[in-house]
Amino acid sequence: MISLLGRLFLRHETDERAVRQGYGMICGGVGIFLNLVLSAFKIVLGVLIGSLAIQADGFNNLADAGSSLVSLGGFLLSGKKPDTDHPFGHGRAEYLSALIIAFFILLMGVELIKSSLSSLIARTPAPAFTLASLAVLLCSIAVKLYMAYYNTRYGKKFASSSLLATAKDSLFDCLTSGAVILSMGLTRFLHWNADPWCSLAVSLIILYGGYGTAKDTVDLLLGKRADGALLKAIANTVTAHEGILGVHDLIVHDYGPGRKMITLHAEVDEKADMLSTHDLIDNIEWELNRKYGCISTIHMDPIAVNNPETDAAKELVLSILGEIDQRITVHDFRLVRGQTHTNLVFDISAPFEVRLSDGELKALLTQRIKAKNEAYVPVITVDRR
């Protein structure tokens, strides 16, 4: 259905962002329609047969319709072009819409817990088992599986956090409808009113799904570290060029789907021609832009190559760092000789998992370097990764 609607309404569209926004709106619109239909059937059926669990499932679908509406709004806002106040665009609006969806999920979970506990305390009579209710719930599972399929497909295709959040919510809905069917079976064959207990289980499942969605979205808004495979691929793309000796301080800045910026430092031979090296850096930036669909900025770091004195000093520092923590690396290493001492100017990159503070790392490394050579004066900058 989604592919058909896409071909129908977007067949003349060539702009990639417009296509992405169009499919997001189609997914959201179809989601609103399907959830409203499911919600109406379940709420009416739940009232008729007196099933709190079916009513809870119906209200959950109603909340899902609101979630799809928020997702649609997020796509509309995120598709706006950059302006003076938002030079990097409005892509993070989609993350905000995913966060609002998570809020709806959590709110519904809390309300259902309250209803379930009230039913348990009041000892509400068990609902009647009907083939109509079973048919509605089985159809609901089929529809929700379809929604999970197309939201996952287009969420991955367009790197959409809100569509992926909606897909996850649809899968949890399948579990909730399954739990309602289970409660009906237990009531029918064991003569035990499992309806409020299954309603409570549904509520906990909904809360768990809402928590996961909220956590994933908050991570993106706070600035989650880029995927390790992506960072490695970018580094390999840069170092594949002759003349690039190494890469460090590689950061991927995420301003929303399709709006990423890459910044990094590329090490080059200090004796290389400046103009030709600058041209090389420009070409690499263009390649990154084309390959990863982003803006890239590369800082050129000239380093000493085949200098025995500098290489020996660097090897000394590396051996000491290996004793402290083998995960710590060195870059921007320079040796500046003076009449009374020699400055070792360099940066170290330490993982956040290294428990020593920046000051403790500097002090420990300085102490061990000077123990090896009193003439060395370390000038150290600590980066965290």
Of the candidates 222, 256, 277, which is a domain's last residue?
A: 222
Proportion of the chain above pLDDT 70, given as a percent: 95
Residues 224-229: contacts with CB within 8 Å, 24+ apart?
Answer: 224/254, 226/251, 226/252, 226/254
Q: Is the model's pLDDT at 254 over the cut of 70?
A: yes
214 lies in the same domain as 243: no
Q: Is the model's pLDDT at 350 over the cut of 80?
A: yes
pLDDT band at 283 (very low <50, low <70, confident <90, very high): very high
* 258-277 residue pLDDT tens: 678 899 999 998 888 989 99
Res 278: pLDDT:
92
Q: b/e string for 337-358 if b means 16 or more Cβ within 10 A?
A: eeeeeeebebbbbbeeebebee
Q: How many domains does the chain have?
A: 3
Q: Is the model's pLDDT at 315 over the cut of 80?
A: yes
Specify the CATH number for the domain of residue 371. 3.30.70.1350
Q: Is the model's pLDDT at 140 over the cut of 80?
A: yes
Lowest mean pLDDT among 113-117, 127-131, 200-204: 127-131
Q: Which residues contact 84 (CB under 8 A, 6 or more apart)?
A: none
Of the candidates 196, 222, 248, which is a domain's last residue?
A: 222
Highest mean pLDDT among 121-125, 173-177, 305-309, 316-320: 316-320
366 lies in the same domain as 294: no
298 lies in the same domain as 324: no
158 lies in the same domain as 140: yes
- What does the alpha-carbon distance between residue 227 and residue 222 come to, in Å, rounded to a whole number? 15
* 167-224 residue pLDDT tens: 887 887 887 778 778 877 777 777 777 777 877 877 787 788 788 878 888 887 887 7
Q: Where are the beta strands (DSSP E) in the chain?
A: 246-254, 260-269, 295-303, 329-337, 342-350, 376-384
Specify the CATH number for the domain of residue 207. 1.20.1510.10
- What does the alpha-carbon distance between residue 99 and residue 125 come to, in Å, rounded to a whole number? 37
pLDDT band at 127 (very low <50, low <70, confident <90, very high): low
Using a cut of 0.95, tell me whether the model's pTM lies above it.
no
Of the candidates 179, 207, 222, which is a domain's last residue?
A: 222
Mean pLDDT of 72-101: 77
194 lies in the same domain as 149: yes
Res 241: pLDDT:
94
**DSSP characters over 51-85:** -HHHHHHHHHHHHHHHHHHHHHHHHHHHTSPP-SS
271 lies in the same domain as 315: no
Res 375: pLDDT:
87
Domain range enclosing 186: 2-222
Res 145: pLDDT:
92
248 lies in the same domain as 375: no
Res 209: pLDDT:
75
Q: Is the model's pLDDT at 53 over the cut of 70?
A: no
260 lies in the same domain as 136: no
312 in helix, strand or coil?
A: helix
158 lies in the same domain as 256: no
Q: Is the model's pLDDT at 12 over the cut of 80?
A: no
315 lies in the same domain as 294: no
158 lies in the same domain as 125: yes
pLDDT band at 286 (very low <50, low <70, confident <90, very high): very high
Proportion of the chain above pLDDT 90, given as a percent: 14
Res 258: pLDDT:
65
Mean pLDDT of 48-63: 75
Res 125: pLDDT:
66
314 lies in the same domain as 297: no
